[in-house]
Amino acid sequence: MSNTLFRAALDTSLLLCALGLLWRMSTWYRLRIGPDVRDLTLVPRLRALLRGFAAALFTRRAFHVGVALFLDVLLQRRLYRSDKSRWLTHLLIFVGFMGLLLMHALAAVVALKMFTGYESTRNPYLFLRNLFGSMVVVGLAFFLIGLRRRRRHTLHAPMRRPMDAAFVVLLGFVLATGFLLEADKIVSPQVFYRMAKEFNGSADPAELKPLRAFWASEFGVAFDDLTAPITPDLLRQGRAMHEADCETCHAGAASAFVSYPVSRVLAPLARVLDAGQAPTWLLYLHVFACFIGLATLPFTRFYHVLAAPISLLVNGAALGRSLSGAGRAVRRALALDACVGCGICDAHCSVAPLARHLDNRYLLPSHKLIATGELTRGRLLQPGHLTTGAGDAAWRAAEGAFGCTDCGRCTSVCPVGLDLDDLWQSGRADLARAGLTAPAQWVQARPALAWAESLQRDFWPRSFFDPDARDAPLSANRSSFSRCVQCQACTNVCPVVAYSTDPAYGVDLTPQKVMNLLRLGMRDLAMGSRMVWSCATCYQCQEHCPQGIRVADIMAELRTLAVQRLGAVRSHKELS
């Protein structure tokens, strides 16, 4: 291809890539996650960045950074610990791709400088190129197989963006065109004649006959006009010509252990391909696909190649949680980019069974991370969210965020070393500020009476069959509490009532009053009461009740009912 075109395309792609990177990386300094870093503007963050760099390079942290670079970025130790088969898959793609990148794509700046006598058609480079390419292909195959297997087993796969699929397709396309190009060049008579002209001086088929014979039998070129039988003598002649003009640059084609077999398939079509200028447009396709990949790098999966190592190195330098506020702010925003959506966190999540049961994927880390991004970009909450149906996604996200048990498994298995613990805590704080809180908070934010009135006004058809009988059997069944004689034993042994000496945070009812509400058929009023939601479930009440009423169990049931019922009416205008 023409040099000018090549350069122009390359420069454009690089520029687009750089602009895209600037844009993406700017979010690390713009996004604010967590109330503790809310007031940190751009300048402190940049200062933190510079200080971080300096620290990383010039203090003893440099050692840790180096270790992180070697173990975590190159050897992917974290991934190895979390999932060995995926580590293998990734390693294949990683090594294969880096090999192709450095040795093949950047041959002019890397390979030529490092290895004297580099020629792309010589061994070991020919072999290596095929090896690297096949590693990527095998890796991609493992990846796709693994993906299918995981999809079958988990109910909630990590969210796939269209760009992710596009990138895999692009990568496959680059490899396919690369192998096809090499295969076509192997069989192409046109290419042969061009090379012969350049290195032998002649393009005359008759003159080149011995060489052609040699190349046809040893290198697989598909001449369709090589009529005369190929005698050993002819081959000897051809070999002599080959040794004179070609050998210095050409290793045996069989070393191209992928392209050569492919070329055998293409051989019958050699003339057609030549007529259609296949070598040329395959090259264009191959190179432009690479350029497209480069230009779109900041917006595809490929971005992780930069974001993930930076994240790993930042963690290596951070030595745990000793980051300043600005450092934390950067690291949290960085996490949103560095996440590759691998879903290893989801596979280890302690509350994954609950996510399946509640059909709420926001309980799973990979989705929580995306929701955190949406929240901080102001996309999770719409104006007037609390009063419109659009708030449902926001509330689902909150349910997911507050359902987390902070077990820390996701953080320890994350291959990219994201500090998910910190992200969840700060995310929850942000949600709370936006009014999206855990049930215990949003219920207790309104008086029980307000909730009860709202429920009365809302749909609730009082049916003949109590729908709570299944999910809250004790509170739906009179016999569970009808024996209550209001003796106040439960109230007297309740520590929550004992310490409710300040009306500001004390409870509004007592356990025996809650039981009485049930006896009066006023379950709605009980559901929204502070007593039910400040119950410590310490079971003193149930242990002491002279009538054997399961007071604490009933309280727990009322809470589950409240989450459903009050959740359905919490967007009422009157309650905002």
Partner 1 sequence: MSSAAATRYDVAVIGAGMAGMAAALFAAERGLSCIQVGSGGGILFASGLLDLLAVHPVAEHRLWQSPYDALAALAGEQPGHPLARVDPTSIRTAFQSFVAALTSAGLAYAPLGDRNSNLLTSIGTVKTSFGVPLTMVAGVDALAQRPPCLLVDFRGLREFSARQIAATLADDWPDLRHQRIDFPGFEAVPEVYAVHLARALETRETRERTIALIKPLLGDARAVGLPALLGLTRSREVHAAFEAGLGVPVFEIPTMPTSVTGLRLLGALESVVSSRGVTRRQLSSVRALTFDYDTALLQLDGLPGGERISARAVVLATGRFSGHGLMADRQSVRESILGLPVQQPGARDAWHQDDFLDPAGHAINRAGLRTDEVWRPLDATGKPAWKSLFAIGSILADQDWMRAKCGSGLAIATAWAAIEQVAQPLRETQKP
Partner 2 sequence: MKYALFLGCKIPSRLPAYAASTRAVLQHLGVTLVELDFNCCGYPARSVSRDGFVLAAARNLGLAERVGLNVLTPCACCFGTLRHAIALLDEDAALRVRITTALAAEGLAWSGTVEVEHILPVLARVVGVDALAGAVRAPRTGLRVAAQYGCHTLRPSNVARSDNPLAPTIFEDLIRLTGATPIEWPLRLDCCGDPLHGANALLSEQMTRAKIADALASGAEVMCTACPHCHLRFDGVQPPQTETADASIRTLLYTQLLGLALGLPAKSLGL
Closest residue by Cα to residue 496 from 510, 485, 482: 510
Q: Which is nearer to partner 1, 188 or 542 (CB)?
A: 542
Instruction: Read off the tokens for 410.
Output: 């996701």
Cβ neighbors of 121 (< 8 A, separation 6 or more) are 249, 250, 251
Say which entry of partner 2, partner 1, none residue 14 contacts (CB below 5 to 8 A, set by partner kind). Answer: none
At its nearest, how many Å lie between partner 2 and the CB of residue 485?
A: 20
Q: Which is nearer to partner 2, 99 or 506 (CB)?
A: 506
C-alpha to C-alpha distance for 79 and 369, rounded to whole angstroms? 19
243 binds partner 2 (CB under 8 A): no
Instruction: Read off the tokens for 126.
Output: 């020919």
User: Is residue 167 a contact partner of residue 300, using CB atoms and an 8 Å limit?
Assistant: yes
477 binds partner 1 (CB under 8 A): no
350 binds partner 2 (CB under 8 A): yes
Say which entry of partner 2, partner 1, none residue 380 contacts (CB below 5 to 8 A, set by partner kind). Answer: none
Among 82, 376, 500, 534, binds partner 1 (CB under 8 A): 500
| Binding footprint of partner 1, residue count (CB under 8 A) | 22
497 binds partner 1 (CB under 8 A): yes
Among 39, 225, 502, 521, binds partner 2 (CB under 8 A): 502
Q: Which is nearer to partner 1, 467 or 495 (CB)?
A: 495
488 binds partner 1 (CB under 8 A): yes
* Burial classification of residue 11, based on how many CB atoms lie within 10 Å of its CB (0-12 exposed, 13-18 middle, 19 or more buried): exposed
Cα angle vertex 205, ends 201, 210, to 5°? 85
Q: How far apart are the first and last CA of the chain?
A: 66
491 binds partner 1 (CB under 8 A): yes
Say which entry of partner 1, partner 2, none residue 487 contacts (CB below 5 to 8 A, set by partner kind). Answer: partner 1
Instruction: Determine the 3-state secondary structure of 321 from DSSP.
Output: coil
Window contacting partner 1 (CB under 8 A); options: 26-34, 497-505, 525-533, 563-571: 497-505
Cis peptide before 44 (omega within 30 of 0): no
533 binds partner 2 (CB under 8 A): yes
User: Is residue 355 a contact partner of residue 361, using CB atoms and an 8 Å limit?
Assistant: yes
User: Is residue 368 a contact partner of residue 362, using CB atoms and an 8 Å limit?
Assistant: yes
Q: Which is nearer to partner 1, 492 or 560 (CB)?
A: 492
C-alpha to C-alpha distance for 152 and 548, rounded to whole angstroms? 47
Closest residue by Cα to residue 329 from 25, 32, 39, 56: 32
Site residues (CB under 8 A) for partner 1, limited to 525-544: 542-544
Instruction: Determine the 3-state secondary structure of 104 from DSSP.
Output: helix
477 binds partner 2 (CB under 8 A): no
Say which entry of partner 2, partner 1, none residue 488 contacts (CB below 5 to 8 A, set by partner kind). Answer: partner 1
At its nearest, how many Å lie between partner 1 and the CB of residue 493?
A: 6
Cα angle vertex 556, ends 551, 558, to 5°? 90
CA contacts within 13 A on the Cβ side of 124: 7
Instruction: Read off the tokens for 207.
Output: 């003159």
Q: Which is nearer to partner 1, 277 or 547 (CB)?
A: 547
Site residues (CB under 8 A) for partner 2, limited to 150-179: none
Site residues (CB under 8 A) for partner 2, limited to 397-416: 399, 403, 405-409, 411-412
425 binds partner 2 (CB under 8 A): no
Cα–chain center distance at 345: 10
374 binds partner 2 (CB under 8 A): no
487 binds partner 1 (CB under 8 A): yes
C-alpha to C-alpha distance for 547 and 530, rounded to whole angstroms? 24
Among 470, 503, 521, 573, binds partner 2 (CB under 8 A): 470
363 binds partner 1 (CB under 8 A): no
Cβ neighbors of 543 (< 8 A, separation 6 or more) are 493
498 binds partner 1 (CB under 8 A): yes
493 binds partner 1 (CB under 8 A): yes
Window contacting partner 2 (CB under 8 A); options: 120-128, 218-226, 254-262, 556-564: 556-564
Cα–chain center distance at 196: 50
351 binds partner 2 (CB under 8 A): yes
Window contacting partner 2 (CB under 8 A); options: 58-66, 89-97, 241-249, 347-355: 347-355
C-alpha to C-alpha distance for 12 and 7, rounded to whole angstroms? 8
Cis peptide before 210 (omega within 30 of 0): no
Contacts with partner 1, residue ranges (CB under 8 A) = 485, 487-489, 491-493, 497-498, 500-503, 506, 510, 542-548
Contacts with partner 2, residue ranges (CB under 8 A) = 349-354, 357-358, 399, 403, 405-409, 411-412, 421, 438-441, 444, 470-473, 495-496, 499-500, 502, 504-507, 530, 533-534, 536-540, 542-543, 550, 552, 556-557, 559-560, 563
